[in-house]
Amino acid sequence: MRVLIVDDERLARLELRRLLAAHPEVQVVGEAANAIEGRQAIDEMAPDLVLLDVQMPGGSGFDLLATLERVPAVIFTTAFDQYAIRAFDVSALDYLLKPIEPARLAAALQKFRNEPETARDKPLQAAPDGKVFIKDGDRCWFVAMEQIVLFESEGNYTRVYFDRNRPLLLRSLNQLEARLDPERFLRVSRRQIVNLDFVVDIAPAPAGGMVLTLKDEIKVPMSRRRAAQFKQLNGL
């Protein structure tokens, strides 16, 4: 188990190393003292698990996650318990309040061991059932790719439709398209990419186009050219 520690306090990092030493299967691959260093370490070291402080100078742990292309498993560590609900809202593995108790750390590590491997750190193009982290205002989510119904372009942002939520992701539709599983996600227009698993109805439209109805009665028009591609892909 490759673990990265991200915390702005040197003594907190030393204490985590001491506690992790009791777990022989854990390899601490590195440390970072802020969000910028944390992102660089994650990109370079590809840890399985990150022990991540919430409040750090220059950017919070949530800010760090929002910049990542690859989202590892995360256990939040902080002295500020008001972040607990928010941490669980983003579906972190666990939330450890400082000073961290050995038994609580052991339980959190066990949660990681119990997590399906497909839900761990995976690039979008390699794991359609992986997760993407979204931070929109004060709300944050880890979203499994199979839960996403629709991506819709809004300039340099993309609106993500899932479970009746509609947050904005700071990535363009073109950036996302290059990383999505083409067997599950289809670009149906300049502005939209749909999850084919959520198509519930297909209707013809003028000039040879089509209209897809997705989950929650979301209507998505498709141009004639895109409709022809869709029919070919689905053997229609």
The whole-number pLDDT of residue 132 equals: 79
H or E, element range at 162: none
Taking only the tens place, the pLDDT of each residue in 161-215 is 999 899 998 888 988 888 888 888 999 989 999 999 999 999 988 777 889 999 9
Whole-angstrom distance, CA of residue 70 vs CA of residue 111: 20
Q: Collect all residues with Cβ–Cβ distance below 8 Å to 10 and sequence separation of at least 6.
A: 33
Would you list the domain boundaries of the chain?
A: 2-119, 148-233
Comparing 208 with 125, the larger pLDDT belongs to 208
Q: Span 2-119: which CATH code?
A: 3.40.50.2300
**Angle of helix 10-20 relative to helix 102-114, nearest 10 degrees?**
70
pLDDT category of residue 86 using cuts at 50, 70 and 90: low
pLDDT category of residue 89 using cuts at 50, 70 and 90: low
Taking only the tens place, the pLDDT of each residue in 5-29 is 999 999 999 999 999 999 999 999 9
Q: What is the mean pLDDT of residues 89-115?
A: 86
Comparing 155 with 194, the larger pLDDT belongs to 194
Lowest mean pLDDT among 52-61, 99-108, 116-125, 217-226: 116-125
Facing residues of 164 across strands? none
- Residue 143 predicted with pLDDT over 50: yes
Q: What is the mean pLDDT of residues 134-156?
A: 86
Order of strands, sheet of 150-154, starting from the edge strand that comes earlier in the sequence: 168-169, 157-161, 150-154, 192-195, 185-187
Write the single-letter amino acid at 152.
E
Calculate the average pLDDT of the chain: 85
- Please give the distance of CA 178 from its chain centroid, rounded to a whole number: 16
Q: Collect all residues with Cβ–Cβ distance below 8 Å to 14 and sequence separation of at least 6.
A: none
Q: Between the ranges 17-31, 71-85, 93-107, 181-195, where is the mean pLDDT highest?
A: 17-31
Lowest mean pLDDT among 30-34, 44-48, 133-137, 153-157: 133-137
Lowest mean pLDDT among 63-67, 91-95, 145-149, 178-182: 91-95
**Contact by Cβ (8 Å): 52, 78:** no
pLDDT category of residue 83 using cuts at 50, 70 and 90: low
Comparing 57 with 208, the larger pLDDT belongs to 57
pLDDT category of residue 88 using cuts at 50, 70 and 90: low
- pTM value surpassing 0.75: no
The pair of three-digit structure tokens given for residue 151, joined into one six-digit string: 């991506």
CATH superfamily, domain at 148-233? LytTr DNA-binding domain (2.40.50.1020)
Decide the pairing of beta strands 49-53 and 94-97: unpaired
The whole-number pLDDT of residue 156 equals: 86
Facing residues of 210 across strands? 204, 222
Decide the pairing of beta strands 168-169 and 185-187: unpaired
**Contact by Cβ (8 Å): 160, 169:** yes
Whole-angstrom distance, CA of residue 166 vs CA of residue 146: 15
